[in-house]
């Protein structure tokens, strides 16, 4: 399935929601330190509810450590200055969908890393800064999963 990569996330509720997203879609969640919280944070636990044990979550000390563990073929960096609409990407299983921290997004050195296949953008109305991190990840994961025919999903009537 797909791999979600949060680069130095700051808000525990967003990561908790991403844990839940990973559990219900079969995606993996990878977090690059430093994190703006610890895993005992009540907001993280509340947002993830009882999905923590059902999700694959890995914390990496550095981005280099994440690259080594993930060995990605393709990395899509979701950023406000992305040039490719998220719907124009033909996603494949094991793609890495990378997102930056809530306050600043992905740093230039990360979004310009040679391992990044493309910088991707979610559409927004003009003059607005950004979409919530967990919401952005959800949109991207569900589009990628949709393109795969929602493999493994149980469709509720």
DSSP state at residue 112: T
Instruction: Kindly state whether residue 154 falls inside one of the protein's structural domains.
Output: no
Looking at residue 43, its pLDDT comes to: 62
> Is 122 within the bounds of a domain?
yes
Residue 155 lies in a domain: no
Number of domains in the chain: 1
Provide the whole-model pTM.
0.93
> What's 143's domain CATH number?
3.40.1280.10
CA 150 to CA 82: how far, in whole Å?
26
Judged against a pLDDT cut of 60, whether residue 154 lies above it is answered with yes
Q: Give per-residue pLDDT as tens, 121-135.
A: 999 998 887 789 999
Domain with 123, as residue range(s), is 3-147
Q: Are 78 and 86 within 8 A, CB to CB?
A: yes
pLDDT digits (tens, 9 = 90+) for 23-69: 999 999 999 999 988 877 566 566 555 677 788 999 999 999 999 99
20, part of any domain: yes
The confidence score (pLDDT) of residue 37 equals 82
Is residue 157, in this structure, part of any structural domain at all? no
């Amino acid at each position: 399935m797909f791999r979600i990569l949060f680069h130095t996330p700051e808000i525990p509720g967003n990561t908790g929601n991403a844990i839940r997203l990973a559990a219900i879609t079969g995606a993996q969640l990878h977090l690059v330190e430093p994190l703006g919280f610890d895993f005992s944070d009540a907001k993280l636990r509340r947002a993830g509810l009882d999905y923590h044990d059902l999700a694959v979550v890995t914390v990496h000390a550095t981005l280099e450590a994440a690259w080594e563990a993930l060995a990605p073929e393709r990395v899509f960096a979701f950023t406000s200055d992305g040039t490719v609409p998220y719907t124009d990407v033909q996603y494949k299983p094991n793609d890495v969908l990378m997102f930056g921290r809530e306050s600043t997004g992905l740093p230039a050195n990360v979004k310009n890393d040679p391992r990044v296949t493309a910088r991707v953008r979610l559409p927004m109305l003009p003059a607005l800064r950004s979409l919530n991190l967990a919401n952005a990840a959800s949109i991207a994961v569900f589009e990628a999963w949709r393109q795969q025919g929602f493999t493994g999903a149980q469709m509720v009537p």
